[in-house]
């Protein structure tokens, strides 16, 4: 029997590249697509030339063509950090809306099953805690994060419409904060920010008083959950994340210990609409997928720190890897 073919968008990004590795290891034929706006070819260098891997440099917000049969599409292309939304807001909206529409059309034409990467951001600054999938959220549509949150909410809506109207097989994963090797050191998110600061000998920047909470999931756990969801027959959203909740202040203390940082902590203003608390309720994932996270934070953080230590001084001191200016014409 021929290998199943999977198209992974955002293939050169953090999660996309781990998905490519996972599906290659499972002997799928993998088509990776990325416009490299926030992705980095270094993340998939090792797959180039692999007989089961093909890379397409393409922006999925424009019409998407791939030759041949397609069994699965995983739509992971999107900026995913709050500072990226501020730099490239229109592209963030387009990839979640127009990009999703193009890929749903492709899935329909190829009779493929489509899984979309949604997010805990659909819950906004949540008034229900921990967040269950039936909570509708508390999102500011016109705030700085609205470009991401509303694109992802639209993405869920159009995906359910294709499922209900066209009978397309669809899956929706709501991803909570995830970390691991290949995160962009300068993407502004809290883990690379703190580790980068530790490695440069700078103080760690806590936004607000650090009492806001997050729950961090190690990447291999997330990828396993996504695979199980894809292979399940469940079309409604499923939270995938690690319910172990921690304040950002505690997190800074953990990173300080791990990295043996000596430069202390400084406090900066809390960004607008920064959610005060976040913790997934994963009952559904447990029941439907038989999934729960396995890697505890101490173990996951150690692996991640070891990865960041392999980066060069040049990587460490670069303000930003990517040249966004050329995309601002869109
Ligand atoms: N944060 C921080 N210092 C930083 C970067 C982030 O205190 O240098 C905080 C941020 O305000 C938020 C939390 O860490 O409360 C997680 O931020 P991140 O950007 O990683 O992702 P979010 O969960 O907000 O999407």
pLDDT at 320: 53
Residue with CA nearest ligand 1 atom 24: 274
| CB-based contact 52:35 (threshold 8 Å) | no
**CB of 184 sitting under 6 A from ligand 1:** no
255 lines ligand 1 (CB under 6 A): no
Residue 31 lies inside a defined structural domain of this protein: yes
Strand partners, 265: 204
Tokens coding 106 = 């492709």
Query: For a pLDDT cut of 90, what percent of the chain falls above it?
Result: 91
Query: Does the Cβ of 193 fall within 6 Å of ligand 1?
Result: yes
Please give the distance, rounded to the nearest whole angstrom, from the Cα atom of residue 292 to the centre of ligand 1.
Answer: 24
Confidence of residue 314 (pLDDT cuts 50, 70, 90): confident
Tracing tokens 């396995």 back to the chain, one arrives at: 294
Quickly state the pLDDT bin for 316 (edges 50, 70, 90).
confident
Task: Kindly give the distance from the C-alpha atom of residue 190 to the centroid of ligand 1, in angstroms, as a whole number.
Answer: 5
Strand ranges (DSSP E) for 12-78? 29-34, 53-57, 72-75
Q: Helical H runs in 88-174? A: 89-110, 146-166
Which of 82, 179, 190, 277 best tests ligand 1's pocket when mutated (most atoms within 8 Å of CB)? 190
- For residue 131, list its beta bridge partners: 280
Q: Which range of residues forms the domain containing residue 242?
A: 5-323
pLDDT-derived band of residue 313, with 50, 70 and 90 as boundaries?
A: confident
pLDDT for the residue numbered 141: 97
Q: Which residues contact 46 (CB under 8 A, 6 or more apart)?
A: none
Contacts of 326 (CB under 8 A, 6+ apart): none
Nearest CA to ligand 1 atom 6: 190
- State the Cα–Cα distance between residues 105 and 63, nearest whole angstrom: 9
Residue 329 inside a domain? The answer is no
Q: How confident is the model at residue 326 (pLDDT cuts 50, 70, 90)?
A: very low
Asked if residue 186 has its Cβ within 6 Å of ligand 1, the reply is: no
**Residues 6 or more apart from 121 whose CB is under 8 A from it?**
139, 145, 148, 149, 152
pLDDT over threshold 90, residue 50: yes
Q: Is residue 224 predicted with pLDDT exceeding 80?
A: yes
Where do we find the tokens 């949150």? 149
Is 148 catalytic? The answer is: yes
Q: Which CATH number belongs to the domain containing residue 69 in this structure? A: 3.40.50.720
Shortest-distance atom of ligand 1 to CA 81: 19
- With vertex at residue 95, the alpha carbon angle to CA 118 and CA 280, rounded to the nearest 5 degrees, is 15
> What is the pLDDT, as a whole number, of residue 1?
55
Mean pLDDT of the chain: 94
Distance CA 13, CA 247 (A): 27
Question: Where do the H-state alpha helices sit in 11-145?
Answer: 14-25, 82-87, 89-110
Whether ligand 1 lies within 6 angstroms of the CB of 37 is answered as no
Looking at the predicted structure, is the pLDDT value of residue 317 above 90?
no
Q: Which helix (H) or strand (E) holds 172?
A: strand 170-175
- Asked if pLDDT for residue 249 goes beyond 60, the answer is yes
The verdict on residue 178 lying in a domain is yes
pTM assigned to the model: 0.95
pLDDT at 132 over 50: yes
Q: Using one digit for the tens of pLDDT, what is the confidence trace for 79-124?
A: 999 889 989 999 999 999 999 999 999 999 999 999 999 999 999 9
Rounded to the nearest whole angstrom, what is the distance from the C-alpha of residue 234 to the centroid of ligand 1? 31
- State the Cα–Cα distance between residues 33 and 9, nearest whole angstrom: 5
Query: Is any ligand 1 atom within 6 A of the Cβ of residue 203?
Result: no
Residue nearest atom 11 of ligand 1, based on CA coordinates? 207
Sign of CA dihedral 301, 303, 304, 308: positive
pLDDT value at residue 321: 42
Tell me how far CA of residue 231 lies from CA of 142, 227, 268, in angstroms: 36, 6, 44
The encoded tokens of residue 32 equal 């990776």
Q: Average pLDDT in the 28-42 region?
A: 97
In the chain, which ranges are continuous DSSP H helix? 14-25, 82-87, 89-110, 146-166, 190-200, 219-231, 248-259, 283-284, 297-309, 313-317
Provide the pLDDT confidence category of residue 186 given band limits of 50, 70 and 90: confident
Q: Does pLDDT of 184 surpass 70?
A: yes
Q: pLDDT: is 85 or 17 the higher one?
A: 17
User: Does some domain include residue 180?
Assistant: yes
For residue 277 the two structure tokens come to: 């608390």
Q: On the CB side of 91, how many CA atoms lie within 13 Å of its CA?
A: 22
For residues 245-250, give the mean pLDDT: 98
Handedness of CA 153, 155, 158, 164 (dihedral sign): negative
User: Which residue has better confidence, 39 or 327?
Assistant: 39
Closest ligand 1 atom to Cα of 252: 7
Residue nearest to atom 5 of ligand 1 (CA): 190
- How many domains does the structure of the chain reveal? 1
Out of 22, 148, 179, 218, the active site residue is 148
Closest residue by Cα to residue 209 from 247, 246, 244: 247
Answer with the residue of higher pLDDT: 73 or 188.
73
Cβ(318)–Cβ(186) below 8 Å: yes
Instruction: Please indicate, yes or no, if residue 328 is contained in any of the structural domains.
Output: no
- Does the residue 129 lie in any domain? yes
> What separation, in Å, do the N-terminal and C-terminal C-alpha atoms of the chain show?
43
Does residue 205 have its Cβ closer than 6 Å to ligand 1? yes
In this predicted structure, what is the pLDDT of residue 330?
A: 36
Looking at ligand 1, which residue's alpha carbon is closest to its atom 13?
Answer: 190
Mutate to test the pocket of ligand 1, among 145, 214, 217 (most ligand atoms within 8 A of CB): 214
195 lines ligand 1 (CB under 6 A): no
Q: Following DSSP, what letter does each residue of 302-325 receive, concatenated?
A: HHHHHHHHTS-HHHHH-S-SS--G
């Amino acid at each position: 029997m021929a290998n199943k073919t999977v198209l992974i968008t955002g293939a050169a990004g953090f999660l996309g590249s781990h998905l490519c590795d996972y599906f290659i290891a499972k002997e799928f034929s993998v088509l990776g697509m990325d416009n490299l706006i926030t992705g980095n070819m270094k993340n998939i260098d090792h797959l180039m030339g692999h007989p089961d891997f093909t890379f397409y440099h393409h922006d999925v917000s424009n019409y998407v063509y791939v030759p041949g049969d397609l069994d699965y599409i995983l739509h992971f292309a999107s900026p995913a950090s709050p500072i990226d939304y501020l730099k490239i807001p229109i592209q963030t909206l387009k990839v979640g809306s127009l990009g999703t529409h193009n890929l749903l059309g492709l899935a329909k034409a190829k009779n493929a099953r489509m899984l979309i990467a949604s997010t805990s951001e659909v819950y906004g600054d949540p008034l229900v805690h921990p967040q269950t999938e039936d909570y509708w959220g508390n999102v500011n549509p016109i705030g700085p994060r609205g470009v991401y949150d509303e694109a992802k909410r639209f993405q869920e809506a159009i995906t359910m419409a294709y499922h209900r109207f066209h009978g397309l097989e669809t899956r929706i994963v709501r991803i909570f904060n995830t970390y691991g090797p290949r995160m962009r050191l300068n993407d502004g998110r809290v883990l690379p920010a703190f580790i980068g600061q530790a490695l440069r000998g700078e103080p760690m920047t806590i936004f607000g008083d650090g009492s806001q909470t997050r729950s961090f999931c190690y990447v291999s756990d997330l990828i396993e959950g996504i695979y199980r969801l894809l292979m399940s027959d469940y079309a409604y959203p499923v939270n995938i994340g690690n319910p172990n909740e921690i304040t950002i202040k505690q997190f800074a203390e953990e990173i300080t210990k791990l990295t043996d940082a000596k430069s202390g902590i400084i406090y900066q203003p809390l960004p607008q609409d920064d959610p005060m608390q976040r913790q997934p309720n994963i009952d559904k994932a447990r029941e439907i997928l038989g999934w729960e996270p396995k890697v505890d934070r101490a173990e996951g953080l150690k692996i991640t720190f070891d990865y960041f230590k392999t980066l060069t001084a040049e990587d460490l001191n670069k303000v930003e890897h990517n040249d966004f200016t050329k995309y601002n014409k869109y």
